Amino acid sequence: MTLYAGGLRSAFGLGRRTSAKVIPFALAVLAFVPALVQVAVGALTSRLDADVDLFAHEDYFGYVQIILILFCAAVAPELVGRDQRDRSISLYFSRAVSRVDYALAKLAALVSVMLVLTLGPQMLLFVGNGMVEDDLDGYLRDSWDLLPPILAGALFLSAAIAGVGLAIASFVPRRAYATAAIVGVFVLTTSVAGILMETADVSFARYALLVSPLVWEGAILWFFGARPDPGSEIRDADFHGAVYAVAGVVTILATTALTIVRFRRMQA
């Protein structure tokens, strides 16, 4: 529990110099901006008897995933790389803390803080939309079915990005290299999947989507029962939404196992 709490503090730079807090808090604020705009516009247009929805819940995940990648790239190297650089990790392993507990505590802390950036804006959007309606109780009764996909999407997206980021950071202790590697992996896999879908046989190229960030989009659309946009890679791939969800879960489990293996083999 101490490791987990310490990870939460480290993620936002608490207890450290001001410069360590700037990037995490700035990205957290950016995650909330569209939701705040939506609520403000909704409050304004409700007086004019007009409904304006700037963001659907499933579309909001598409916006926030970019911020999550940058947040993970900034925070993950601090959570596991700092202990390796300072050689303080040997102190953890010399006490009653197993290497598996260490890895899982760091992952849980990273997922938890990333839920602030995913679930927080979504709930603000949900509650804000209800508050600007003339009948709040009626809105909640009619829209309660949005809560399960919101929760599932927030947890899925946070865990997927955190799992990949932490696995990379555990193998690359240098902060600058780890940050570049995390961003690079997400950008590269997305680019490769898009290029293959454009240039290769779709029946084979579509499997590249299952190891790219497009998995998140496909799974979240499935959670909400929404259809992908015409002409998008996800529409062209024509996978059932459950395939993306399973691929994402496999990625989470595989990267978590990779992180655990890394710390198990690390010399104290």
Q: Burial code of 148-161, b = ≥16 C-beta within 10 A, e = fewer?
A: ebbbbbbbbbbbbb
pLDDT surpasses 60 at 49 = no
Amino acid in position 91? L
More confident residue, 198 or 2: 198
Residues in CB range of 74: below 8 A, 6 or more apart = 23, 24, 27, 179
How far does CA 66 lie from the centroid of its chain?
9
Mean pLDDT within 147-176? 93
pLDDT band at 45; cut points 50, 70, 90:
low
Residues in CB range of 203: below 8 A, 6 or more apart = none
Q: How far is CA 202 from CA 67, 91, 198, 235, 242, in A?
A: 30, 51, 8, 11, 19
Distance (Å, whole) CA 118 – CA 122: 7
Q: Which two tokens stand for residue 22?
A: 């700037």
Task: Select from 64, 160, 148 the least CA-distant residue to 110.
Answer: 160
Rounded to a whole number, what is the distance in angstroms from the first to the last CA of the chain?
Answer: 21
Count Cβ atoms within 10 A of the Cβ of residue 225 and give its class: 0-12 exposed, 13-18 middle, 19 or more buried.
exposed
Q: Hey, how many other C-beta atoms are within 10 angstroms of the C-beta on 9? A: 13
pLDDT digit string, tens, across residues 212-235:
999 999 999 999 998 888 878 898
More confident residue, 34 or 165: 165
Q: How far is CA 119 from CA 83, 128, 147, in A?
A: 29, 14, 10
Handedness of CA 9, 15, 20, 21 (dihedral sign): positive
Distance (Å, whole) CA 140 – CA 214: 31
**Which pLDDT value is given to residue 136?**
67
How far does CA 81 lie from the centroid of its chain?
20
**Which pLDDT value is given to residue 248?**
94
pLDDT digit string, tens, across residues 151-165:
999 999 999 999 999
Mean pLDDT within 7-23? 75
Task: Select from 209, 225, 120, 104 the least CA-distant residue to 159.
Answer: 104
Handedness of CA 71, 74, 76, 79 (dihedral sign): negative
Q: % helix / strand / coil in the chain, to the nearest 5?
A: 80, 0, 20
**Which pLDDT value is given to residue 96?**
66
